[in-house]
């Protein structure tokens, strides 16, 4: 039997194992009902389980580190609403703040003291930011930050990196061209090529491409937007040489460096990922920062900020327009402010990071024992893992390397863990999140489930190989 045939057989076997076996009566019914009135049955595509197959679980309630679906099954939650729930679900201080704010009024369309308090709290924790504007979503924040950068510099071009996600603004829905001299191509229908003609897409962690792009077009580049840890290709860190060179080039050419900390802000460290780069690279600061998720504590809230000099270009002071009916919503700001105050308690991030490291170490240990190649990484309360093609494979450093990891094994593992009451993100491209509510019991239960699931993945693949032998 050829190596190719063996690999194909193994893939088919694992694919069969990853098939959702159904039996989720309430979720099945709700999904069928949802698909009649909502495109794809969901209000954000990854929730549809298209990447892993099967029926998405419709969630009825959550508490601490747990979710319960519409059928009453409990799951250990490692999605955390894609990052905001750093305290776990239903934290008493957050619930009290939200309930009190809701009693006073849901929305005013006018300034409130709490907006000022939240802005002051963020600025206290992030020294690179002198002024901040509150908005309602990460997409809105990133889109507005880019517009502001273009307005402040008087330039049009922007650089983003393949595999980094900054929301669904038209100019950011683009993939790389065939070379640095060619334009990128829209990745979504409805985005005309003209809209992305000023967007340059480079490979993450590739210093040579950075140098070449700035050498060719440095005087036209308004900004570079980057995830310091790329959480939308699972978990990929920006290397120190890459980040140092990015800062040097932006400074030399007058481009603004935008840190998209929607995921990493107040999640990997109290001062965000930029505080960790500042420790490793003395004097390092981004020019602009984008935040979301944790600053809203689970409510729709995001922000973008920079120096006073840059922010003064924003309306009503300057010519760059931005506005929002629900920006600075009083209930959302109450939720975010309560969350930020809780995560400043002594030892909070030490405990969170320790628990996250323990989770990843146990998963990797279980994979090693099962003979399943896997690698993983974490920082603060954010983590990721990859099923690799061999035990020699290292952590991916860019989108191409992420795409080369074993999707079939991930899908099989995802469903095996879901069956055992552990809810990881339903796509190998998404990071995972641990909350302060996750303790030793939840992590131990996850490890026990992983040992069973990984043994099943390994056995299924081995069985396929045996059956195909002549």
Q: Can you spell out the DSSP letters for 277-312? A: HHHHSTT---SEEEE-GGGGBTBS-EEEEE-HHHHT
Q: What is the reported pLDDT for 188?
A: 87
pLDDT of residue 142: 97
| Mean local confidence (pLDDT), 276-288 | 97
Of the residues 69, 77, 260, 456, only one is catalytic, namely: 260
Quick one: CA dihedral 62, 66, 69, 72, positive or negative? Answer: negative
Catalytic residue among 78, 165, 399, 423: 165
The pTM assigned to this predicted structure is: 0.92
Does 157 participate in catalysis according to the annotation?
no
Same domain, 142 and 272: yes
pLDDT band with cut points at 50, 70 and 90 for residue 168: very high
Choose one of 342, 360, 391: the last residue of a domain. 342
Q: What is the CATH number of the domain that holds 142?
A: 3.40.640.10
Q: What is the mean pLDDT of residues 225-254?
A: 97
Query: What span, in angstroms and rounded, lies between the C-alpha atoms of 171 and 157?
Result: 10
Q: Given this model, what pLDDT does residue 18 score?
A: 53
The pLDDT value recorded for residue 14 is 53
Residues 461 and 433 in one domain: yes
Question: Do residues 77 and 139 both lie within one domain?
Answer: no
Say how far apart CA 128 and CA 126 lie, in whole Å: 6
We report the CATH number of the domain holding residue 377 as 3.90.1150.10
Residues in the chain: 470
Residue 53 pLDDT more than 90? Answer: yes
Looking at the fold, whether 55 and 96 belong to one and the same domain comes out as no
pLDDT of residue 175: 78
Which residue matches tokens 């159904």?
22
Domain co-membership, 256 together with 119: yes
pLDDT value at 178 more than 90: no
Catalytic (active site) residue 321 = no
In this structure, are 222 and 325 located in the same domain?
yes
- Bridge partner residues of 131 (DSSP): 306
Q: Is 50 exceeded by the pLDDT of residue 227? A: yes
Answer whether residue 231 shows pLDDT above 60.
Answer: yes
Single out the catalytic residue among 157, 204, 287, 293. 293
The pLDDT value given to residue 13: 52
Write out pLDDT tens, residues 210-226.
999 999 999 999 999 99
More confident residue, 331 or 468: 331
118: containing domain: 92-342
* pLDDT of 470 higher than 90: no
What's the mean pLDDT in 112-134? 98
Indicate whether 268 and 350 sit together in one domain. no
| d(C-alpha 461, C-alpha 456), whole Å | 9
Boundary residue ending a domain (295, 313, 342): 342
Of 379-388, 434-443, 460-469, the one with minimum mean pLDDT is 460-469
- Tell me, yes or no, whether 27 and 161 share the same domain: no
Sequence-distant (6+) residues with CB within 8 A of 248 are none
Asked if residue 297 and residue 276 are part of one domain, the reply reads yes
Rounded mean pLDDT of 76-103? 98
CA-CA distance, 45 to 31, in Å (whole number)? Answer: 13
Residue 1 has pLDDT above 50, yes or no: no
Count the neighbouring beta carbons within 10 Å of the beta carbon of residue 347.
8
Active site residue 104: no
Lowest mean pLDDT among 14-23, 111-120, 184-193, 340-349: 14-23
Q: What is the mean pLDDT of the chain?
A: 92
Say yes or no: 269 and 255 in one domain.
yes
The residue out of 283, 312, 342 marking a domain boundary is: 342
Both 24 and 135 in one domain: the answer is: no
How many other C-beta atoms can be found within 10 angstroms of the C-beta atom of residue 458? Answer: 17
Q: Are residues 69 and 181 in the same domain?
A: no
Instruction: Look at the chain and report how many structural domains it folds into.
Output: 2
Per-residue pLDDT reduced to its tens digit, 407-416: 999 999 999 9
- List, for residues 317-351, the tens digit of each pLDDT value: 999 999 999 999 999 999 999 999 999 999 999 99
């Amino acid at each position: 039997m050829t190596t190719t045939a063996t690999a194909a057989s193994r893939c088919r076997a694992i694919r069969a194992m990853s098939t959702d076996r159904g039996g989720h009566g309430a979720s099945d019914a709700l999904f069928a009902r949802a698909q009649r009135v909502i495109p794809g049955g969901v209000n954000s595509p990854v929730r549809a389980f298209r990447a892993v197959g099967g029926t998405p679980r419709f969630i009825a309630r959550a508490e601490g580190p747990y979710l319960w679906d519409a059928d009453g099954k409990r799951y250990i939650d490692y999605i955390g609403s894609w990052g905001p729930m750093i305290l776990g679900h239903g934290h008493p201080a957050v619930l009290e703040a939200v309930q009190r704010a809701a009693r006073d009024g849901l929305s005013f369309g006018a300034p409130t003291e709490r907006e000022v308090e939240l802005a002051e709290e963020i600025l206290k924790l992030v020294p690179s930011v002198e002024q901040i504007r509150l908005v309602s979503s990460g997409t809105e924040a990133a889109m507005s930050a880019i517009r502001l950068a273009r307005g402040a510099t008087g330039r049009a071009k922007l650089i983003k990196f393949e595999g980094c996600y900054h929301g669904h603004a038209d100019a950011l829905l683009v993939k790389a061209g065939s070379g640095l001299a060619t334009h990128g191509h829209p990745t979504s229908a409805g985005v005309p090529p003209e809209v992305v003609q000023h967007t340059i897409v480079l490979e993450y962690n590739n210093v040579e491409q950075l140098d070449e792009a700035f050498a060719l077009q440095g005087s036209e580049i308004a900004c570079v937007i980057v995830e310091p840890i790329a959480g939308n290709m699972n978990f990929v860190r920006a290397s120190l040489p890459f980040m140092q060179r990015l800062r040097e080039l932006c400074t030399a050419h007058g481009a603004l460096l935008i840190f998209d900390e929607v995921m990493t802000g107040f999640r990997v460290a109290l001062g965000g990922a930029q505080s960790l780069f500042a420790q490793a690279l003395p004097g390092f600061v981004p020019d602009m920062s984008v935040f979301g998720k944790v600053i809203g504590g689970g409510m729709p809230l995001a922000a973008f900020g920079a120096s006073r000099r840059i922010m003064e270009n924003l309306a009503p002071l300057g010519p760059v327009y931005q506005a929002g009916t629900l920006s600075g919503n009083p209930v959302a700001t109450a939720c975010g402010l309560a969350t930020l105050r809780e995560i400043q308690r002594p030892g909070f991030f030490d405990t969170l990071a320790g628990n996250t490291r323990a989770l990843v170490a146990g998963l990797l240990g279980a994979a090693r024992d099962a003979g399943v190649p896997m690698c993983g990484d974490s920082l603060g309360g954010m983590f990721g893992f990859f099923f690799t093609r061999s035990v020699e494979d290292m952590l991916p450093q860019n989108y191409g390397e992420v795409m080369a990891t074993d999707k079939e094994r991930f899908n099989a593992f995802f469903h095996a863990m879901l069956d055992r009451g552990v809810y990881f993100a339903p796509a190998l491209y998404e990071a995972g999140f641990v909350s302060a509510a996750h303790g030793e019991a939840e992590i131990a239960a996850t490890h026990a489930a992983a040992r069973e699931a990984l043994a099943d993945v390994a056995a299924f693949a081995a069985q396929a190989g045996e059956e195909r032998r002549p």
